């Protein structure tokens, strides 16, 4: 009974900002600098520009300051996260957890720090901030262990540039135009990404809008990656022939000299 | 010059990889080893995922051993019968290795097993080789002939059932011994991305008691075919062969190997063996230190 009540409450909270949307509420018109990022031979990362406009009814700016939060979130996939510990003197993977939905990339930018914009509950509902990512562990484990692992993952991905948080990334011009640069590193996993924009004022999320972004390998890189995945035999054979030819060519050339 | 590796999923400096291949190739040409035992650790050190490093290093060893095999075949320095038995064992071993690889990956211990195997194998072989090379170095210094090595196979080998004649090797032993040896080589090639020459050569000399004139050629022959097989098995199971990475390594190593071989003709063999022993021991030490000190990354994602 308690459980269901909590669920209804939670659902209500989730619906609230959208449910109360009336004609008088502001709207977001978001866009991204490119709908598709192609990974090519010299890809060393890219910067994605998330920008757009805030449309207020009657074209009148509200008196309260409005803030923008942008989130770029990458392919959700199940992962196994392992933790090394010292066992008999050497460092080995000693324990692990499975996470059903872990984003391969997560970047959040805002015009002010998230904790100044919304309370913890709202941040958790909209999954704003690295601390609020829900990764759904597949088995039950103690909260402290889960927390430790999530902190470890966040730290690792942050240093790889796969998790990114910048509370000053969003720049709002004249109260109606916003823009934010999100760095996308070379290690980024391919897949469908979602660029979400939140309009927040007085602790409430007033509008949400999103755009899909594709990150994919292109050209030769796409060909090679697909061949390695789908045609293992031919791919392996090609690699073998390549190495035989190169080895043979080198010895033939050098012998002639 | 940055280049994106489509299977490893990261950008590397192409020049660094070519030079790395060149350096390893030089050593492999000089010492007559595949050089995989240097490539894999160096690639991992550079930030390439271990699986991709091992798989692509195996492909590189294929290219590095081609010219050696051809040279030895011309000089009749390959015992083809022995080679065939070793290759058969190697194929079996690479399949077993693939199974082990999958098992260890699921268990999360593949990295540790790779490191421990490296330390154990390189440490043992390096010490052994170093002692032997030091002995002949001292002998050469004193102007004495190198101590004669008694050529007999291990008693365990003599006890195996079924006996074949291996004319080129001058042996009448059970084919099970080289089959087993080839199998171990195959497992190691699959797991470590090494050709296994640094294990096969001493094993062929001291366990099987093969004639010296065919040891290196036959070992290279086995390495060539087994690395081809492991490339195929990796391509079909782990999908971790990065053809761009392998190509870059090859570009450097096939050229480096030729210079290395030329250099080796001028150098004294006992100096070469001593130098190889030192390099092998250094890699083992580096790997051992890596096991005991706190790693940079406590957490890893799979």
What digits encode the pLDDT tens for the residues A98-111?
A: 888 888 899 999 99
Q: Does A21 touch chain B (CB under 8 A)?
A: no
Query: How high is the pLDDT of residue B68?
Result: 76
pLDDT digits (tens, 9 = 90+) for B119-171: 888 888 888 888 887 887 777 777 666 555 555 666 666 666 777 777 677 67
3-state SS class at B149: coil
Element (H or E) spanning B12, and its range?
A: strand B10-13
* Dihedral over alpha carbons B200, B206, B212, B214 (to 10 degrees): -40
Mean pLDDT estimate for chain B:
81
**Could you tell me the two tokens for B20?**
């790395």
- pLDDT band of residue B240 (cuts 50, 70, 90) is confident
10 Å CB burial of residue B40 (0-12, 13-18, 19+) is buried
- Tokens 């015992």 belong to residue: B79
Q: Which of B292, B295, B299 sits opposite A81 (nearest CB)?
A: B299
d(Cα B227, Cα B229) in Å, to the nearest integer?
5
Query: How high is the pLDDT of residue A21?
Result: 47
Q: Which of A46, A50, A40, A65 is nearest to A176 (CA)?
A: A65
3-state SS class at B89: helix
Q: Which of B239, B246, B257 sits opposite A243 (nearest CB)?
A: B246
**Which residues of B fall within a CB distance of 8 Å from A228?**
6-7, 235, 239, 241-243
Query: How high is the pLDDT of residue A1?
Result: 42
Taking residues A165-182, report their average pLDDT: 90
- Assess whether pLDDT exceeds 60 at residue A11: no
Q: Does A230 touch chain B (CB under 8 A)?
A: no
Distances (CA, A) of A216 to A42, A183, A212, A222, B165: 14, 16, 13, 8, 58
Q: How far is CA A172 from the centre of its chain?
A: 22
Q: Which residues contact B293 (CB under 8 A, 6 or more apart)?
A: A91
d(Cα B245, Cα B238) in Å, to the nearest integer?
16
pLDDT digits (tens, 9 = 90+) for A30-66: 888 888 888 877 778 888 999 999 988 877 777 778 8
- Assess whether pLDDT exceeds 80 at residue A192: yes
B164: phi then psi, degrees, rounded to nearest 5: -120, 155
- For B56, which residue in chain A has the nearest alpha carbon? A239
- For A95, which residue in chain B has the nearest alpha carbon? B108
Contact A180, A51 (CB under 8 A): yes
Angle (CA) A105 A109 A115, round 5°: 110
pLDDT digits (tens, 9 = 90+) for B241-251: 899 999 999 99
d(Cα A153, Cα A157) in Å, to the nearest integer?
6
- Assess whether pLDDT exceeds 60 at residue B208: yes
Cα of B153 to nearest chain A Cα, Å? 34
Contact: B70, A248; criterion CB under 8 Å: yes
Q: Does A240 touch chain B (CB under 8 A)?
A: yes
- Assess whether pLDDT exceeds 60 at residue A10: no
**Could you tell me the two tokens for B211?**
């004639």
pLDDT over 90, % of chain A: 21
Query: How high is the pLDDT of residue A228?
Result: 86
**Among the ranges given (A52-61, A117-126, B70-79), the one the predictor scored with the smallest mean pLDDT:** B70-79
- Assess whether pLDDT exceeds 90 at residue A70: yes
Please, which residues 47-76 of chain A have a Cβ atom closer than 8 Å to chain B? none
Which stretches within B75-109 are classed as H helix? 80-107
Query: How high is the pLDDT of residue A105?
Result: 92
d(Cα B77, Cα B95) in Å, to the nearest integer?
28
Contact: B235, A43; criterion CB under 8 Å: no
Note the pTM of the prediction, 2 decimals.
Answer: 0.77
Cα of A82 to nearest chain B Cα, Å? 5
Element (H or E) spanning B197, and its range?
A: helix B197-202
Distances (CA, A) of A98 to A82, A149, A214, B69: 9, 10, 26, 47
Query: How high is the pLDDT of residue A2?
Result: 46
pLDDT digits (tens, 9 = 90+) for B5-43: 888 878 888 899 999 999 888 887 777 677 788 888 888
- Assess whether pLDDT exceeds 80 at residue A229: yes
DSSP chain A: -HHHHHHHHHHHHHHHHHHT--TTS-EEEEEES-SEEEE-TT---EEEEEEEEEE-GGG---SS-EEEEEEEE--EEEEEEEEEEEETTEEEEEEEEEEEEEES-EEEEESS-HHHHS-HHHHHHTT-SGGG----BSS---HHHHHHHHHHHHHHHHHHTSEEEETT-EEEETTTEEEEEEEE-TTPPPEEEEEEEEEEETTEEEEEEEEEEEEEE-HHHHHHHHHHHH-HHHHHHHHHHHHHHHHHHHHHHHHH-
- pLDDT band of residue B61 (cuts 50, 70, 90) is confident
Cα of A146 to nearest chain B Cα, Å? 13
Q: Does A36 touch chain B (CB under 8 A)?
A: no
**Could you tell me the two tokens for B199?**
């294990």
Query: How high is the pLDDT of residue B157?
Result: 67
Distances (CA, A) of B257 to B29, B194, B218, B253: 4, 16, 18, 6
Contact B189, B196 (CB under 8 A): yes
pLDDT digits (tens, 9 = 90+) for A199-210: 998 888 899 999
Contact: A228, B7; criterion CB under 8 Å: yes
Q: Say which residue, B102 or B294, is predicted with more confidence.
A: B102
What count of other Cβ atoms lies within 10 Å of the Cβ of residue A117? 24
Strands B10-13, A36-39: parallel, antiparallel or unpaired by DSSP?
unpaired
Contact: A42, B291; criterion CB under 8 Å: no
- Assess whether pLDDT exceeds 50 at residue B52: yes
Taking residues A150-177, report their average pLDDT: 89
- pLDDT band of residue A68 (cuts 50, 70, 90) is very high
Taking residues B62-85, report their average pLDDT: 81
Angle (CA) A118 A120 A122, round 5°: 60
Query: How high is the pLDDT of residue B155?
Result: 67
d(Cα B99, Cα B187) in Å, to the nearest integer?
10
- Residue in A96, A235, A246, A257 to test binding to B, most B beta-carbons within 10 Å: A246
Contact B4, A43 (CB under 8 A): yes
Cα of B130 to nearest chain A Cα, Å? 26
Strands A163-166, A170-173: parallel, antiparallel or unpaired by DSSP?
unpaired
Contact A254, A75 (CB under 8 A): no
- Assess whether pLDDT exceeds 50 at residue B227: yes
Q: Does A78 touch chain B (CB under 8 A)?
A: no
**Among the ranges given (A8-17, A29-38, B77-86, B280-289), the one the predictor scored with the smallest mean pLDDT:** A8-17
Q: Which of B261, B20, B98, B211 is nearest to A250 (CA)?
A: B261
Taking residues A8-32, report their average pLDDT: 62
**Which residues of B fall within a CB distance of 8 Å from A81?**
299-302
Query: How high is the pLDDT of residue B273?
Result: 77
Contact B214, B69 (CB under 8 A): no
**Which residues of A fall within a CB distance of 8 Å from B293?**
91
């Amino acid at each position: 009974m308690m459980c269901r009540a909590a669920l209804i409450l939670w659902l209500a909270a989730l619906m609230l900002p959208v449910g109360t949307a009336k004609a008088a509420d502001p709207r977001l018109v978001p866009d991204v600098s490119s709908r598709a990022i192609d990974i090519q031979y010299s890809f060393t990362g890219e910067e994605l520009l998330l920008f757009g406009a805030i449309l207020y009814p009657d074209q009148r700016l509200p008196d309260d300051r409005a803030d923008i939060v942008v989130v770029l979130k990458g392919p959700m996939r199940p992962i196994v996260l392992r933790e090394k510990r010292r066992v008999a003197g050497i460092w080995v993977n000693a324990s692990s957890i499975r996470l059903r939905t872990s984003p391969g990339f997560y970047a959040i930018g805002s015009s002010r720090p998230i904790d100044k914009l919304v309370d913890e509950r709202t941040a958790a509902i909209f999954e704003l901030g690295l601390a609020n990512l829900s990764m759904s562990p597949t088995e039950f484990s103690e909260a402290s262990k889960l927390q430790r692992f999530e902190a470890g993952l966040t730290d690792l991905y942050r240093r790889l540039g796969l998790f990114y948080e910048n509370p000053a990334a969003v720049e709002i011009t004249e109260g109606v135009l916003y823009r934010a640069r999100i760095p996308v590193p070379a290690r980024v996993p391919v897949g469908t990404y979602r660029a979400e924009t939140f309009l927040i004022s007085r602790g409430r999320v007033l509008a949400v809008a999103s755009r899909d972004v594709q990150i994919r390998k292109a050209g030769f890189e796409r060909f090679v990656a697909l061949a390695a995945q789908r045609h293992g035999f031919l791919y392996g054979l090609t690699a073998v022939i390549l190495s035989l030819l190169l080895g043979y060519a080198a010895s033939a050339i050098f012998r002639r000299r | 010059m940055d280049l994106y590796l489509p299977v490893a999923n990261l950008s590397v400096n192409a020049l660094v990889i070519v030079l790395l291949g060149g350096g390893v190739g030089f050593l492999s040409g000089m010492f007559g080893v595949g050089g995989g035992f240097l490539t894999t650790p160096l690639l991992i050190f550079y930030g390439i995922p271990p699986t991709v490093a091992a798989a692509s290093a195996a492909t590189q060893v294929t290219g590095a051993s081609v010219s050696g095999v051809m040279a030895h075949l011309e000089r009749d320095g390959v015992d083809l019968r022995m080679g065939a038995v070793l290759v058969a064992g190697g194929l079996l071993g690479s399949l077993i290795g693939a199974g082990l690889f999958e098992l260890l990956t699921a268990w999360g211990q593949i990295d540790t097993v790779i490191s421990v195997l490296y330390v154990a194998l390189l440490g043992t072989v390096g010490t052994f080789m170093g002692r032997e090379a030091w002995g002949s170095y001292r002998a050469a210094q004193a102007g004495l002939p190198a101590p004669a090595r008694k050529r007999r196979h291990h008693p365990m080998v003599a006890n195996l059932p079924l006996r074949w004649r291996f004319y080129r090797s001058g042996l009448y032993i059970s084919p099970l011994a080289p089959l087993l040896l080839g199998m171990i080589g195959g497992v190691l090639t699959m797991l470590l991305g090494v050709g296994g020459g640094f294990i096969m050569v001493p094993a062929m000399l001291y366990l099987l008691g093969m004639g010296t004139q065919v040891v290196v050629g036959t070992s290279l022959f086995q390495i060539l075919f087994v690395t081809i097989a492991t490339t195929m098995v990796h391509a079909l199971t782990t999908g971790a062969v990065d053809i761009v990475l392998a190509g870059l390594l090859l570009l450097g190593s096939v050229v480096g190997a030729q210079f290395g071989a030329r250099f080796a003709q001028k150098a004294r063999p006992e100096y070469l063996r001593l130098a190889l022993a030192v390099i092998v021991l250094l890699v083992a030490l580096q790997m051992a230190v890596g096991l005991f000190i706190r790693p940079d990354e406590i957490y890893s994602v799979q």
